[in-house]
Amino acid sequence: YPLQTRVGEYNQPLWSTLRMFPSTRVYVMNPPGSAMYEKWFDIRDRRNGPAQIRMRDEFTFGLGKRLQLDLYSHTVYDGKEGEQDFDWRGFSFEFRYALANWGKLPGNPTIYWETKMLDGGWGIEPKLLLGDQLGKNGIWGLNLIYEGNVKPTREEQEREYAGTASYGYILNKDLTLGASAMYRNNDGNSTEYYIGPLLQYRFNGHSYLTLEAMPGLTQSSKASRSTIIFAYRF
C-alpha cells in the first residue's frame, strides 16, 4: 500500500506507524494490539577519543485509546582507546499519548514520557511530539525535549533542553530520503548543533532499516551522531 494510506482506528497514515526519523518521533506508531521490535545502534563519535556506541533493544506495544508503551534494554560499547568493552546500562520505559485521532489537531500533538533506570541512577525525559504530511509525498516531525538525571541525594541534577526536526520525502513504497537537525543545551554550559541526511529502506510489510548521520556543527558538539535502526513488526 502507499505510505499515505490511512490505517487503523486512529485514521493515521501508514508512514506514521514506522519510525521514519531516528531523532524525531511522530504520533503513536502502534495501532491497538500491534507490537514491534527495534534494534538501535547510536554511534557518538567524540572529537577526542574513540566513539561510544549505545545500543538498545526496544519492544513497542499499541495499548489502544491512542496510547503506546515502549520497553527498552540498554547496553554500551565504550572506554579509553584499546580498553573498550560492552556493558549493560539498565532499563527504561516510555508512554506516548496522542491527544486526538490523526488530522483532528494541527501537528497531531502527542505527549511522550520516558523513565530511565541507567548506570545506577534514574532520570526522566518528557517530550512534545509533532508531525504531519507536507504535500503529497513530504512528511515532517518536530520534538521539544527536556531531560533530567535525578540523583538520590538531588545534590547534583543535570538538565538538558533539546529540540529535533526532520523532513522526509517518500520516493516510493520502499524508500524515503530526508534530513534531520538537532539542538542540545546542557544546563546552559554547552550547546550542540547537528544536521545531516537520513534514509529509510523498507524490505517488506514487516521490516525496515533506517539510517541517519549528523555531523556536529560546533566545537562543543560531538564530531558526529549517527543512528542505525532495524525494525520488525509482528
* 223 has a pLDDT exceeding 80: yes
Q: What is the structure's pLDDT at 155?
A: 47
Q: Which residue has the cell 533539546?
A: 162
**What's the pLDDT tens digit per position in 57-80?**
999 999 999 999 999 999 999 988
Higher-confidence position of 81 and 100: 100
Enclosing H/E stretch for 23: none
70 and 58 Cβ atoms separated by less than 8 Å: yes
Average model confidence (pLDDT) across the chain: 93
Give the Cα separation of 112 and 82 in Å (integer): 38
DSSP-derived 3-state class of residue 15: helix
Quick one: pLDDT band at residue 83, thresholds 50, 70, 90? confident
Residue reference for cell 507536507: 134
Q: Is 17 helix (H, G, I), strand (E, B) or coil?
A: helix
Per-residue pLDDT tens for 143-194?
999 998 876 544 455 789 999 999 999 999 999 999 999 999 988 788 999 9
C-alpha cell read off for 115? 523513565
110-133 pLDDT, tens digit each = 999 999 998 888 899 999 999 999
pLDDT at position 189:
83
Grid cell digits, residue 140: 515532517
